[in-house]
Structure 1
Amino acid sequence: MIIQQYFTEGIAHSSYILSGNRTCAVIDPRRDTDLYVQHARELGVRITHILETHLHADFISGHIDLAERTGAKIYAPKTAECDFEHIPLSEGDSFMIEDMKIEVLETPGHTPEHISYIVADTSRGEEPVALFCGDTLFVGDVGRPDLFPGRAEELATKLYHSLHEKILSLPDFCEVYPAHGAGSLCGRAMASKRTSTIGYERLYNYALNIKKINDFIDILTNSMPDAPDHFSRCTGINKEGPLPIKRLVPIKALNNEDFVELAGRKDTAILDIRSFESFGGQHIRNAYSIDLNSNFATYAGWLIPPDKNILLVTDNYGQALEACIQLHRVGLDMIEGFLEEGMFGWVTAGLETSHVPQISIVELHRKITGVSDLVIVDVRSASEYENFHIHNSINIPVHELRERFNELDKNAEIALMCGSGQRSSMGCSLLKQKGFEKIYNVAGGMTGYAAAGYGPECPRCVLPWAPFSDSKNTIKEDA
């Protein structure tokens, strides 16, 4: 028995190959499936099973693509009532892959239809050796139960019973293979380690050590991080069966004239994926700024309207291709094309641009310690802000700027900051779309602010997947 894990950065997703000598299963596959096909060939096995633990909310699954490519059968929860051809599974169902016995547990809580797969390698023994638990149990955390409006307490209750009456009945040596790791918003405090054991989680997982069900429900339904917009869309797409990538229209290289024509349409969104420094220097008006080197897929799914045709502004063709892969992962399939000659070709053609001044940490410090009416808007999450922020700054998480921009004065000088400059550049692009002109992006963000010696180090900025903290540090500046 061979277990191979594939961790997808950005969405912090783990998928797996469970292989015997001749055949294998792929568990919770991502949408771009080449790596599974290639690795199966290297192992000398055929992909015969595709196992889904639940209807994923944070990404589009690759079950349809992989089934079409390999002829493998899709196994999914019966209660999901999926619209595509599949083998529905319920509690107590089991099947064999060579010497491996796979048993099904119904483990609702993160989602109503969730199942987990228990694996025994019968060539060695009958005891469970591996658990593919999807988003029920993570390393250091459990799946959030608050993604379905009005059902948080109900699902938290089911999650408690799934964990304590089913998952924790497995032997301590049973290995745990979750569908996400640190950086995912499917939980709150995942550890950076990507696999574990039942015994270790029993000892050190904070959620498993909440013994009273009412306390468990309270903690798991309050103060959770905001869920991105695409979470509510991906579940439905995965249930219906996403359109295979090979059927999507290939991205087109657009000259300036074609780009201008398409950009003028109401059904179009311009997405600039260059660095925040490049965006600040010159960008096309009304463009969204989402740095490809940031948590790109998540923020694109969060900020880009799903009904818009997307025009990309990139540094090169390779970036455009990578952006397409990541956009497809969160269900943004309407990608019209990319600006072939880039911003250099745009400005040398004499076309209109906009810009966002970038200010350094030292310059910011001078402004807020001198005579200045500068308004600082901190676009990090509420938990990051509470942990570490500049005195008198305003906290509006970046995604909330879409609606809360009217809380700000368009005539005021506004500096946006985050942990590094990437999310604040996203925020600048949103405010520019709303008619704000006197805005600055703070390059380096709170990470640079701490490095310059103006305040303590922020663990959430340095290590974005660090567990949430209750401690609060406010940096106060003397006027």
Structure 2
Amino acid sequence: MIIRQIFTDGIAHSSYLLGGNNTCAVIDPDRDIDAYMDVASEMGWMITHVLETHLHADFISGHMELLERTGATIVVPSSADPSFDAMEVSEGDSFEIEDMIIEVLETPGHTPEHVSYVVTDRSRGELPVCVFCGDSLFVGDVGRPDLFPGRAEELASKLYDSLHDKLLKLPDFCEVYPAHGAGSLCGRSLAAKRSTTIGYERLYNYALNTDGRDDLIHSLTEDMPAAPDHFSRCSEVNRRGPELLGKLPPLRAFPPAGFSKLAEDPENIVLDIRCYEAFGGRHIPGSYSIDLKSNFATFTGWLLPPDRNILLVTDSPENASEAAVWLHRVGLDRILGFLEGGMHAWAMAGLPTEHLCQVSSPELDNMVRDDEEFVLVDVRSPSEFSSGHIDKAVNIPVDEIRHSYKELDPEAKTLVICGSGQRSSMAASILQQNNFSDVHNVSGGMTGYSAAGFGPDCPLCALPWISSGKEKKVE
């Protein structure tokens, strides 16, 4: 028995290949299946099964892609009610892959239809050697039960049973392979380690050591981080079966005049994926700012309307292609193309631009000390805000600015701040879309403000938050 893990940084997602001598299964695949095909080819495996622990809420799964390429049998929980042909399994079912027996445990809680796959390697012994537990049990955490409106307490109670009556009945040496690691919003505070054992989690996982059912329910239904918008969309897409990537239209390069005409259509939106400093220098009026090197998949899935076509502004065709991969991962498939020649070509065509003034930490501190008249909007999460903020700031998380901007004066001088400048640029672009006339972005955010000696350190900015680029700060 061989296990190969594939970790997708930008969505902090772990998927796996479970193989024997000649065949293998892919567990909880993401939509881009080349990595699985490459590993299978390298190992000399035929992919015969695709195992889904649940209808993933935070990304689009690759089960249909693998079916198309390999003809593998898709295994899903029967209660998921899939719209595609699949082997539907429930508690007590089992199947074999060479010397391995895979047994099914129903482990609802994170989602109602969740299952875990317990593997016994008969070539070595008769006891379970590992469990692929999806989003029920993580390293240092458990799956959040609050993704279904009005069902949080019910699902938290079911999760308690799944953990204590099923997963914790496995041997302490049983290896645990979850579907997510640090950086995922599928739990509250996942650890950075990517696998664990039942015994270690029994000892050190806070959720397994609560004072009974009611205590766990309370801990998992109070003060949970906000769930991105695409969490409510992806599971249904996965149930229906996602559109095959090969059937989506290719990206097109639009010259400035054609791009401008498309941008005027209310069915289309412009997404600027350059760094926030470049966006601040000049950008197309009405465009969204979401830096490709930020937590791009999460924030595009969270902030962009899913029923609109997307036009990309970028520094290169290669970045446009990379952005398309991440957009597809969160179910944003309506991508028309990108601006040929970027903002340089746009400016050379004499087309209009907007600016977003960047305010440095010393400038902001002077404004605070001089008691200037301005509104300071801190778009970090409530937990970040409570850990340290500027006295004048009002906390409106970036996802809420889409609606809560109505509480602000569009004529007032408005400064926007976050942890580094990226989320605040996202929020500032939304304010500009809604006719705020005097918007400024705080470059460097609270990290820069604190580094300059003007404010407290931001503990969350040092967490291993996984982005689609090289950064590891919370964005």
For the aligned pair, the TM-score class normalised by the smaller chain equals: over 0.9
Q: Amino acid of the residue matched to residue 331 of structure 1?
A: G
5 Å-filtered alignment, 1:74-473, equals 74-463=74-463, 465=465
Deviation string 1:247-287 (CA, Å, 9 cap, x unpaired) is 10111010111101111111001000000000000000110
CA contact (8 A) 1:311 1:335 kept: yes
Contact 1:416–1:424 under 8 Å retained in 2: yes
Cα distance in 2 for residues equivalent to 1:363 and 1:133: 50
Q: Distance in 1 between matches of 2:373 and 2:206?
A: 44
Structure 1 Cα separation of the partners of residues 459 and 18 of structure 2: 36
Question: 1:475: which partner in 2?
Answer: none
Q: Amino acid of the residue matched to residue 348 of structure 2?
A: T
Question: Structure 1: how far apart are the matches of 2:226 and 2:302?
Answer: 10
For 2:371 and 2:388, locate their aligned partners in 1 and report how far apart those are by CA, in whole Å: 24
Answer yes or no: is the 8 Å Cα contact 1:191–1:465 preserved in 2.
Answer: no
Which string of whole-angstrom CA distances, capped at 9 and with x for unpartnered residues, describes residues 417-467 of structure 1?
A: 11110000000000000001211111111111221122332110122549x
- 1:147 CA drift (Å): 0.4
Say if 2:54 is the partner of 1:54: yes
- Looking at structure 2, the residues matched to 268 and 13 of structure 1 have their Cα atoms a distance apart, in angstroms, of 30
SS of 1:368's equivalent in the other structure is helix
Shift of 1:206: 0.7
* CA-based RMSD: 1.0
SS at match of 1:168: helix
Task: Give the Cα separation in 2 of the matches to 1:325 and 1:188.
Answer: 26
Residue type matched to 2:383 in 1?
Answer: S
Cα distance in 1 for partners of 2:187, 2:371 equals: 43
Q: Which amino acid aligns with 2:141?
A: D
Structure 1 counterpart of 2:8: 8
Verify the 8 A CA contact 2:402 2:430 in the aligned structure 1.
yes
Aligned counterparts of 1:183 and 1:200: Cα–Cα separation in 2: 21
* Secondary structure at 1:137 match in 2: coil
Instruction: Tell me the alpha carbon deviations over residues 355-393 of structure 1, each in whole angstroms, 9 at most, x when there is no partner.
Output: 100011111111111131122110011111111211121
Cα distance in structure 1, aligned partners of 2:64 and 2:233: 17
Aligned-partner SS, 1:405: helix
Give the partner amino acid of 2:424: S
Question: Is the CA contact 1:189–1:465 (under 8 Å) kept in the aligned structure 2?
Answer: no
Q: Secondary structure at the match of 1:141?
A: coil
Distance 1:456 1:435 in 2: 33
- Rounded Cα–Cα distance in structure 2 between residues aligned with 1:451 and 1:405: 29
SS of aligned partner of 1:389: coil
Aligned partner letter, 2:137: L
Give me the whole-angstrom Cα distance separating, in 2, the residues matched to 1:449 and 1:27.
Answer: 44
- Where 1:40 maps in the other structure, the secondary structure is helix
Q: Distance in 2 between matches of 1:437 and 1:194?
A: 46
Check conservation: 1:25, 1:51, Cα contact below 8 A. yes
Write the letter of the residue equivalent to 1:99.
Answer: D
| Counterpart amino acid of residue 311 in structure 2 | L
> Are the equivalent residues in 1 in contact too, given 2:389–2:456 (CA < 8 A)?
no
Equivalent residues of 1:229, 1:302 under 8 A apart: yes
Q: Secondary structure at the match of 1:132?
A: strand
For 2:350 and 2:269, the matched residues in 1 are separated by 22
CA contact (8 A) 1:447 1:462 kept: no
SS in 2 for 1:36: helix
- Taking the aligned partners of 1:465 and 1:422, their CA distance within structure 2 comes to 14
> Matches of 2:365 and 2:408 in 1, distance apart?
21
Distance 2:20 2:432 in 1: 55
Given that 2:116 and 2:133 are in contact with CA atoms closer than 8 Å, whether structure 1 keeps it comes out as: yes
Question: For the residues of structure 1 that align with 2:427 and 2:419, how far apart are their CA atoms?
Answer: 13
Task: Work out the percentage of aligned pairs sharing the same amino acid.
Answer: 62
Q: Which amino acid aligns with 2:91?
A: E
Task: Tell me the TM-score normalized by structure 1.
Answer: 0.96
Contact 2:131 2:174 in 1 (8 A): yes
- Counterpart of 1:474 in structure 2 is none
TM-score normalised to structure 2 length: 0.97
Map Cα deviations across residues 220-252 of structure 1 (whole Å, 9 max, x no partner). Answer: 011111111111111110000001100101110
SS at match of 1:324: helix
Per the TM alignment, residue 179 of structure 1 is displaced from its structure 2 partner at its CA by 0.4
- Once residues 126 and 232 of structure 1 are traced to their aligned partners in structure 2, the CA distance between those partners, rounded to angstroms, is 40
> What is the Cα deviation at residue 63 of structure 1?
0.2
SS state of the match for residue 10, structure 2? Answer: coil
- Following the alignment from structure 2 to structure 1, what is the Cα–Cα distance between the partners of residues 131 and 392? 48
Deviation larger for 303-312 or 209-218: 209-218
* Partner secondary structure for residue 250 of structure 1: coil
- Is the 2:94–2:104 contact (alpha carbons within 8 Å) kept by the matching residues of 1? yes
Match of 1:358, SS state, is strand
d(CA) in 2 for partners of 1:407, 1:463: 31
Secondary structure of the residue aligned to 2:365 is: helix
What letter matches 1:155 in structure 2?
Answer: L
Number of aligned residues: 466
What secondary structure is seen at the aligned counterpart in 2 of 1:172?
A: coil
Moved more, 77-86 or 445-454: 445-454
Runs (5+) with no aligned partner, structure 1: 467-479
What do residues 266-310 of structure 1 show as CA deviations (whole Å, max 9, x unaligned)?
Answer: 100100000000000000011000000000011001111111010
- Residues 192 and 465, structure 1, Cα contact 8 Å, conserved in 2: no
Whether 1:64 aligns to 2:64 is: yes
Distance 2:464 2:407 in 1: 28
Q: Is 1:39 aligned to 2:45, yes or no?
A: no
